[in-house]
Amino acid sequence: QVELSEEEGNKKIFTIKRVQVEPVGRWFEAYFKRRNRSTSASFQELEEEEESEEESEDEEFQLEEYPMLRTLDPKDWKNQDHYAVLGLIHLRYKSTQKQIKAAHKAIVLKHHPDKRKAAGEQIVEGDNDYFTCITKAIEILSDPVKRRAFDSVDPTFDNAVPSKGEGKENFFQVFAPVFDRNARWSSKKHVPKLGTMESSFEDVDNFYSFWYNFDSWREFSYLDEEEKEKAECRDERRWIEKQNRASRAQRKKEEMNRIRTLVDTAYSCDPRIKKFKEEEKARKESEKKAKADAKKREQEERERARQAELDAARLQKEKEEEEAKQAAQQAKKEKEIQKKAIKKERQKLRTTCKNWNYFADDETDSVKMMEEVEKLCDRLELTSLQSLNEILASGSKDDSKAAVEKQVQEVNAQLQRERDAEVQARQAARSADQASGGGGGGGGGKGWNEEDLQLLIKAVNLFPAGTNARWEVIANYMNIHSTSGTKRNAKDVINKAKNLQRLDPVQKDEINRKAFEKFKKEHSQVPPTIDNAQPSERFDASGTEGNAAAWTTEEQKLLEQALKTYPVSTPERWEKIAASVPGRSKKDCMKRYKELVEMVKAKKAAQEQVAAKSKK
């Protein structure tokens, strides 16, 4: 154990260390004031100083006695100005509770009934003395709830809202005091000021946002007409409370409408809002212009790119067309060369065979061989012709004859194979036709005579592709005009039309020839009577004989144009129409016109019947 001397021990115990301390709360306030005053006063000294300041304020506080105090009616205490009664008319809602109590104490010492009675003044007994008004005033102002209710209906408060005419001339001078005056009703502290013309957009927007969402503590319970304490029963008290709530809600609504009207009027008259709108409009116009310019530049870039692509595509197309043209010219040249070579070889073959008298002793065999040689010229290709000509040029007559006959046999065998294949295809088509005809419903299983086939061909030409419900219309047309009595449906007509398309061209020509002969026979003479769709002039039976030949497409076009050119009211209409169609007489034109009318009527009738069936 080490023993320390008294001096060393004292040094160790009383060693001073510097510690940094940060004051908070009221101690920070004291520290701040000491630093500003350059003093080292303690916090308690500052509190005593504040209390002395408050006392000095109370000493400076002076009352303004209400001159009409003695004339007040105690029964009408609710309509009196309580601040004026206590002599606080110059402070009003800014008065503190200490000031209110001091004012009450001072006025009681002066106007108490005992004081006045001792002074020899006559006192009114009971609650009829004006001192009751002083009692009611302290009762209202000393209670925070009742005082708040009275302050809400302060009789000295100005509820007026400036008009637009007043605000437009001197906006800030007119509206600033109004907003400052109404700021006392705000439930929130730090009410924003109206500001000046130099205020920023954020400050102006914050100001109007605050007032458009204004939260007012003002309430109107002080103006209740009925007091529930005076109710004789519970039901009456509830009725009074209901009436009071409705009255307060109505007055609150009117107050909020007044505030909203004030804000709307100020907003509409505020020159800063107009300035901000003009700036916003200018900014939007600038952005719009910049956007339009950017869009225009982008469109121009796209147009240039598109034009470049079109130019590149055009150059590529021209290049391809040029290459294709050169290729076509080259192919044409090659084809011409091959054609000339084939022609040359054919001529050489004919000449050689002719020089050998076609390898025959008599004229009949010579003619037959000549036909075979022509067949070889038509069927053989260039290489085959060249090979055959080489054999004929280098070989003897017998060898040449054998080579030609061998080639003829090969060509004839090839032709025979083609004929057999064609016959088999026709037989297969007929078998399929019979199978489809036998399996169809309705009239599909019954045979088709020449009249029905001719009628089908006529209907197919009469109702071309694109006609609405074409095959139903054709079937209905055939059922109306057919004399066989067989009813056909759309499926039967389609199957038969497909079979006709697969027929041999010779058979088609035969059917068409028979149809034309029948048409020619039926129209060889003009019928004695015609329907109501007759031409404008009667047919002259004594006229010249008409041309029975079929009308060509060109003649049909000329007739239609003439009918449009010369309407019904034209004098000598049919003579002019006949003159417009070369090779046709007046009789021919009139007969053709009636045929066209009948065809159109038949077509319309068939379409109407199909439409009626579809509706059913």
**Residue of 250, 224, 252 lying closest to 146 (CA atoms):** 224
Note whether 177 and 265 are same-domain residues: yes
- Residue environment code for 452-463, b if the CB has 16+ CB neighbours within 10 A, otherwise e: bbbbbbbbbebb
Q: Is 253 exposed, middle or buried (0-12, 13-18, 19+ CB in 10 A)?
A: exposed
Do 180 and 261 share a domain, yes or no?
Answer: yes
Digit-coded pLDDT (tens) for 240-280:
889 889 999 999 999 999 999 999 999 999 999 999 999 99
Instruction: Give DSSP secondary structure letters for 360-421.
Output: -SSHHHHHHHHHHHHHHHHH--HHHHHHHHHHHHHS-HHHHHHHHHHHHHHHHHHHHHHHHH
Question: 213 is written with which tokens?
Answer: 């969402």
Do 476 and 394 lie in one domain? The reply is: no
Tokens at 146, concatenated? 């009742």
CATH code of the domain in which 575 resides: 1.10.10.60
The pLDDT of residue 12? 57
- Give this prediction's pTM: 0.43
- The verdict on residue 508 lying in a domain is yes
Q: Is residue 32 part of a domain?
A: no
Number of domains in the chain: 5
pLDDT for the residue numbered 433 = 63
- Tell me, yes or no, whether 511 and 571 share the same domain: no
Task: Note whether 122 and 202 are same-domain residues.
Answer: no
Domain range for residue 576?
Answer: 553-614
Residues 424 and 459 in one domain: no
Q: Give the residue from 430, 461, 490 where a domain finishes.
A: 430
Would you give the distance in Å from CA 60 to the centre of its chain? 77
DSSP secondary structure, 260-318, as one string:
HHHHHHHHHH-HHHHHHHHHHHHHHHHHHHHHHHHHHHHHHHHHHHHHHHHHHHHHHHH
399 and 479 in a common domain: no
Indicate whether 182 and 264 sit together in one domain. Answer: yes
Per-residue confidence (pLDDT) for residue 47, from 0 to 100: 56
Same domain, 467 and 415: no
Residue ranges of the chain whose pLDDT lies below 70: 1-15, 36-61, 226, 433-447, 503-548, 614-616
CA distances 255 to 150, 177, 267, 365, Å, are: 16, 18, 18, 133
